[in-house]
A = this chain, B = another copy of it.
């Protein structure tokens, strides 16, 4: 399972009961929190996201609508008695801000908070069953996108054929990763004779806040779902550029150029009460586009 649930889809100024940016990505048995605007912990309660299941948090950049809810969430986790490790990947200055806020409140979190400064490296987490990488996007201040990828074996074992060929089940895990089996009698059981291609590993990319820039298409090439911001409709392209944001047309162009399966658009300016034009405009260029709506889960 790889899915993203939207907790906030608005740009900086909360409006029309839309909230600042936050998403949770569910992959295998992990929940990743991606950005954490003010009120995210309340949105998590509303949409029944279990805070205790979060072990990784990613903050794209230090504009408030992407992180002002973080300190409240961290301290609430402490009040709830969390003890397990929490990993926070974010631009470097956030560590000092959090440290200062805890210090003036005389609060010592009862769990280990591991701060990892984003510094341009590509893969930032590599676990057995998933990996997370980051890539630069182009905003007024340092800003990062994230890609969440399942890590899966290339091959799926056909247990009947494997048994017929006398491959022990203890070797099945190695079969999944493409190895062939050398029997004690000297016969080589070719991997492809007892396995089939596995389903493709799934992936989700989040581009945070960014100018239109074709390099983003390179960064997110071939993902299953791309989230790209669309702060403005296409007629405000000049304004979007000045404010380091993107339009519907620009987001859809990135999706098309990157060859993704599906495009989610969000980070809508509070100047727009109705959102249907966002979908209409983006679909002119990339048909498989959907609005990122709060409380909705989009599955790969």
Known: A39-B42, A75-B64, A105-B64. A13 touches B80 (CB 8 A): yes
Check B79–A72 contact: CB distance below 8 A.
no
Known: A39-B38, A97-B101, A100-B100. A71 touches B68 (CB 8 A): yes
CB of A296 closer than 8 Å to a CB of B: no
Which residues in B have their C-beta under 8 angstroms from that of A72?
A: 20, 38, 64-65, 68
> CA of A141 to CA of B141 in the docked complex: distance in angstroms?
35
Contact of A97 among B75, B100, B141 (CB under 8 A): B100
> CA of A19 to CA of B39 in the docked complex: distance in angstroms?
10
Check A105–B75 contact: CB distance below 8 A.
no
> CA of A297 to CA of B66 in the docked complex: distance in angstroms?
32
Which residues in B have their C-beta under 8 angstroms from that of A71?
A: 64, 68
Nearest B residue to A20, CB-CB: B72
For the complex, count residues of A whose C-beta is within 8 A of B: 35
Nearest B residue to A74, CB-CB: B64
A255 to chain B, nearest CB (A): 28
Check B97–A93 contact: CB distance below 8 A.
no
> CA of A253 to CA of B105 in the docked complex: distance in angstroms?
28
Check B64–A101 contact: CB distance below 8 A.
yes
Contact of A141 among B13, B76, B106 (CB under 8 A): B106
CB of A63 closer than 8 Å to a CB of B: yes
Check B38–A69 contact: CB distance below 8 A.
yes
Residues of A in contact with B (beta carbons under 8 Å apart) = 12-15, 19-20, 38-39, 41-42, 45, 62-65, 68-69, 71-72, 75-76, 79-80, 91, 93-94, 96-97, 100-101, 104-106, 140-141
Which residues in B have their C-beta under 8 angstroms from that of A104?
A: 62, 91, 93-94, 97, 141
Check B38–A41 contact: CB distance below 8 A.
yes
Check A14–B38 contact: CB distance below 8 A.
no
Check A62–B105 contact: CB distance below 8 A.
yes
> CA of A41 to CA of B38 in the docked complex: distance in angstroms?
9
Contact of A45 among B14, B45, B100, B105 (CB under 8 A): B14
Check A12–B97 contact: CB distance below 8 A.
no
Contact of A68 among B14, B68, B96 (CB under 8 A): B68
- 10 sampled A-B residue pairs with Cβ under 8 A: A13-B79, A14-B41, A14-B45, A38-B42, A39-B39, A62-B101, A64-B71, A96-B100, A97-B97, A105-B141
> CA of A104 to CA of B45 in the docked complex: distance in angstroms?
29
> CA of A161 to CA of B45 in the docked complex: distance in angstroms?
65
